Amino acid sequence: MSSVIKRSSYYKGLAGIGAAILLLGIGLYFASIRTLYDLPVLMVLLGIWITGVNAYRVAKPGVETADIEFNRKTINNFLTNYAIIIAMVVLVVVICVIQPRFMQVRVVLDIMTQSSTKLIIALGICFTLIIAGCDLSAGRIVGLAAVVSTSMLQTQDYANRFFPDLAQLPLFVPIITAVLICMLFGALNGFLVAQYEMHPFIATLATSVIVYGACSLYFDLPPNNSQPIGGVRPDFAALGQTKLFQVGSFPGVSVLIPIAAVITVVIWFVLNKTVFGKNVYALGGNREAAVVAGVNVYATNLFIFVLAAGLYGIAGVLEAARTAGATNQYGQGYELDAIAACVVGGVSLMGGIATVSGIIAGVFVFTIITYGLQFISVSPMWQQVIKGIIIATAVAIDMGKYRKKN
Amino acid sequence: MGEYVLEMNDIVKRFPGVIALNHANLKVRPGTVHALMGENGAGKSTLMKCLFGLYHPDEGEIIFDGKSINDIPNTKAALAMGISMIHQELHPIRYRSVMENVWIGRFPTRFGFVDHDKMYKDTVELFKKIGLNVDPRAIAKNVPPSQLQLVEIARAVSYNAKIIIMDEPTSSLTENEVEYLFKIIAQLKSEGRSIIYISHKMEEILRISDDVTVMRDGKYVGTWLAKDIDQDFIIKNMVGRDLTNRFPIKDQEPSSEVVLEVKNFTAAAKRSFVDVNFQLHKGEILGIGGLVGAQRTELVEAIFGLRALASGQLYKNGRQIEVKSVRDAKKNGIALLTEERRQNGIFGILSILDNTVIAAQQSFAHMGILDNAKREPAASQSCQELKVKMPNLATPIKNLSGGNQQKVLIARWLLTNSDIIIFDEPTRGIDVGAKYEIYTLMLDQVKQGKSIIMISSEMPELMGMSDRIMVMCEGHVTGFVDKENFDQVEIMRLASSFKK
């Protein structure tokens, strides 16, 4: 069982499959079968995407020009490389069969919305993972940003104001203040790592405890005294709740989706097109070699944690806006979700390996599974078990890829 | 038992995309030292790993001690059968004692608990047997690497193996310790054990081995009695061509212009180099000779800004410069190619492109944003000039051979416009054919008016390439030898002459 085809014909074939899905979707749309819900629309979108990507690959060939070979080995490789994605597709199909209402544009948009802030955090934490570190303070920094920003963004007539006499500030002032404070704590992380060559695990653990303590102290200030912060200004809440293009029966696109998309593009650019990004990969690939090559290890380390904390800050602000409130418990445990998403997305804990596309996939895998399991009413306890199995399986498969086969 | 204690016949081992062993053969007589030779990548280590149960051959048979064995499942089985191995790279458990390192995996026990007294006694006895003077209770990290290598040898002996595989056992040993190792080998031989000896050092091979097997590209080339052959014969068979000249001819004299002057260099660390003074001329290759522990690497790392100085000044083209970090060195056109390429040279998982431009990134960037339109052509041109053999720039550098990796590292520093290039063991772990290419590249650089400082522990290389040799011993410069006076004996005398 072995056949070889040209790479360009392979892409053409995939584009053809995309076109077929597209056409089938259009056909089903006009057949208007009630029980399929929005499946035709989703098929059209999927078809356009697959066709577009592969048409582009045909038009602009990349570095890889080797022919594609189909045999037992390459198929096995494909299956291991995409095992988690394949498992997810299977799961989605099962959910769709059990509960066809899952096939709605609304569901897809919900999943994307829920992924937005998680993606921003994961993109921050990936920098610390690339240098073979981690960041345990991510969740607490998210919480800090949420508390600080909401505390200064309450409506004038709200009874229980955090700062009773605070004037109406321009929207960006508290937001930028919150993000800057987060970056300051990021700088503390970076300083501990760069100056004392502390392992990021312990440096960020220390910072996370400090941040939580400081956030709780702030939260406990009179007159608030540790009550959940509410009465958030509508212009702030709009930042997380606005729905764009809300016409007719279309549920609208949450503003969080374009925000996350812009940040993703920026981070992709930073990682791939800047000196800093290349230095991050170099540092993770081989720290000693980076020193010998004259990479500014100190500055790179410091900036990694500042940048990451900035992203957590943004995620915290958005989270507060979305929920129109905050407590000091916000963001708790987010760092572990983000690390898990990164790892499932192919980020190596040994450092040096990470792609933005992988991280996006990792985040989506988790959201889709959580959302899907909720949708078919699987108990939250089982959801935890399943999530854990996914993490272990994903990493086991990933390690298998790099392990030498003797 | 027949004539051989071990026969490996027509061993084939395939890895994805390559045939690492293509009908390799090895026949070892009892009580002999059998040298296994070949360029890097010839398949020596792979063959030994098949014997030691680390790899599993796809075809072929292994006959050990008269019994045919198709596959050795793991190293534990290999050790039980009587095959032990000393690895090229040491992996001691740094924070445990020497004796624990020796007996790990087979601690003597009493009622299920580790019997430390017996372990101590056994270790003392073992060390006494081979005349090794190391405290069994010392913590491994406090024992010098060369002594640890001997401990490793003791460990291999302790298995009472019929065959001991030694993979480059002398790479971290000093001259005296090598002699000592040879004594142990002679003793093992007299006990009827066989040794498979892998080394790149021809002199050693011809001195101690009885039989020599040469491999090339995973294939068996031939086996000869060591007394019937010489160095050139081995090299010829290893590379498959005549190698009349091991070094390219340098047809240009260095100028008298001084480009770099080192004055009163003393390290901040204790027991390192002291009061080093030398001048480097334009177009010169200055060799630094010395034994292990002469602090040569430490000296060049200090020049490169990696180590702190207690005192000393550095002058470039007559002007004093401050080199406190690698970035300072880079600014002043000083480059260093380190000895441990994998450890602190290459970024294994990154592409050749990234590896090439990493040191010169700022010059391909505007406001921190990389300009790929400049970066890629520069890297590709530089790699072409140095004749790096590669599929494309996106290939991870770890897929290249040692020689090509070294070329990429040279390309890296040429892109920073360095005019003083320091090579620390430039051809370490590089096979014979590629060595010549590296030498040619070095001469090309000198021809273009650059200057080179080269540390080398290989005497022929040192004398073949240098215009002048500075010899160090225990952190002190013990002399300079000019090209017309190059003499192995004189250099060795200087290298071991300093007495405190």
Distance CA B6, CA B3 (A): 9
Q: Residue B256: CB partners within 8 Å, gap ≥ 6?
A: B281
Q: Which residue has the tokens 């793991």?
A: B74
For residue A336, pLDDT over 90 is answered with yes
- Taking residues A145-164, what's their average pLDDT? 92
B52: enclosing H helix or E strand = none
- Residue numbers in chain B where pLDDT is lower than 70: 1-2, 16-18, 40-41, 88-90, 240-245, 498-500
Is-contact A5 A68, C-beta < 8 A?
yes
Listed by start position, the domains of chain B span 6-239, 258-495
Query: Is the CB of residue A158 less than 8 Å away from at least one CB of chain B?
Result: no
For residue A77, pLDDT over 60 is answered with yes
Q: What is the pLDDT of residue B452?
A: 96
Q: What is the pLDDT of residue A385?
A: 93
Domains B6-239 and B258-495 alike in fold: yes
Stretch 189-248 of chain A: residues touching chain B, C-beta under 8 Å = none
Q: What is the pLDDT of residue A405?
A: 44
Q: What is the pLDDT of residue B143?
A: 84
Query: Is the CB of residue B392 less than 8 Å away from at least one CB of chain A?
Result: yes
Does A363 or A74 have the greater pLDDT score? A363
* Longest CA–CA separation in chain B, Å: 75
- Taking residues A122-132, what's their average pLDDT? 96
| Chain B residues touching A275 at Cβ < 8 A | 361-362, 365, 368-370
Q: Which of A147-161, A163-177, B79-93 has the lowest mean pLDDT?
A: B79-93
Query: Is the CB of residue B289 less than 8 Å away from at least one CB of chain A?
Result: no
Instruction: Return the residue of B nearest to A293 by Cα.
Output: B359
CATH 3.40.50.300 matches B258-495: yes
For B332-363, what is each residue's pLDDT tens digit? 999 999 988 888 889 988 999 999 999 998 88
Beta bridge partners of B471: B289, B479
Q: Residue B99: CB partners within 8 Å, gap ≥ 6?
A: B119, B120, B122, B123, B136, B137
Q: Which residue has the tokens 């959940």?
A: A228
- Taking residues A304-329, what's their average pLDDT? 96
| Chain B residues touching A285 at Cβ < 8 A | 347-350
Is-contact B483 B453, C-beta < 8 A?
no
Q: Which of A73, A273, A281 sits opposite B354 (nearest CB)?
A: A281
Does A212 or A398 have the greater pLDDT score? A212
CATH number of B6-239: 3.40.50.300
pLDDT band at A154 (very low <50, low <70, confident <90, very high): very high
The closest alpha carbon to B184, from B164, B205, B211, B206, belongs to B164
Q: What is the pLDDT of residue B312?
A: 93
For residue A403, pLDDT over 70 is answered with no
Does A262 or B80 have the greater pLDDT score? A262
Q: Which of A72, A275, A283 to mutate to test the interface with B (most CBs of B within 10 A)?
A: A275
> Does the distance separating the beta carbons of B327 and A296 come in below 8 Å?
yes
For residue A406, pLDDT over 50 is answered with no
For residue A380, pLDDT over 80 is answered with yes
pLDDT band at A63 (very low <50, low <70, confident <90, very high): low
For residue A383, pLDDT over 60 is answered with yes
SS (H, E, C) chain A: CEEEECHHHHHHHHHHHHHHHHHHHHHHHHHCCHHHCCHHHHHHHHHHHHHHHHHHHHHCCCCCCCCEEEEHHHHHHHHHHCHHHHHHHHHHHHHHHHCHHHCCHHHHHHHHHHHHHHHHHHHHHHHHHHCCCCCCCHHHHHHHHHHHHHHCCECCCCCCCCCCCCCCCCCHHHHHHHHHHHHHHHHHHHHHHHHHCCCHHHHHHHHHHHHHHHHHHHHCCCCCCCCCECCECHHHHHHHHCEECCCCCCCCEECHHHHHHHHHHHHHHHHHHEHHHHHHHHHHHCHHHHHHCCCCHHHHHHHHHHHHHHHHHHHHHHHHHHHCCECCCCCCCHHHHHHHHHHHCCCCCCCCCCCHHHHHHHHHHHHHHHHHHHHCCCCHHHHHHHHHHHHHHHHHHHHHHHCCCC
Chain length of chain B? 500
Query: In angstroms, what separates the C-alpha of B258 from chain A's closest C-alpha?
Result: 25
Query: Is the CB of residue A266 less than 8 Å away from at least one CB of chain B?
Result: no
- Taking residues A97-112, what's their average pLDDT? 90
Q: Which of B15, B326, B347 sits opposite A286 (nearest CB)?
A: B347
Instruction: Return the residue of A nearest to B409 by Cα.
Output: A293
Query: In angstroms, what separates the C-alpha of B471 from chain A's closest C-alpha?
Result: 25
Query: Is the CB of residue A126 less than 8 Å away from at least one CB of chain B?
Result: no
B392: enclosing H helix or E strand = none
Q: Which of A35-39, A393-397, B90-94, B95-99 has the lowest mean pLDDT?
A: B90-94
| Chain A residues touching B345 at Cβ < 8 A | 289, 292
Q: What is the pLDDT of residue A404?
A: 47
pLDDT band at A213 (very low <50, low <70, confident <90, very high): very high
Instruction: Return the residue of A nearest to B55 by Cα.
Output: A406
Q: What is the pLDDT of residue B1?
A: 46
Query: Is the CB of residue B417 less than 8 Å away from at least one CB of chain A?
Result: no
> Does the distance separating the beta carbons of B368 and A276 come in below 8 Å?
yes
For residue A324, pLDDT over 60 is answered with yes
Query: Is the CB of residue B169 less than 8 Å away from at least one CB of chain A?
Result: no
| Chain A residues touching B56 at Cβ < 8 A | 406
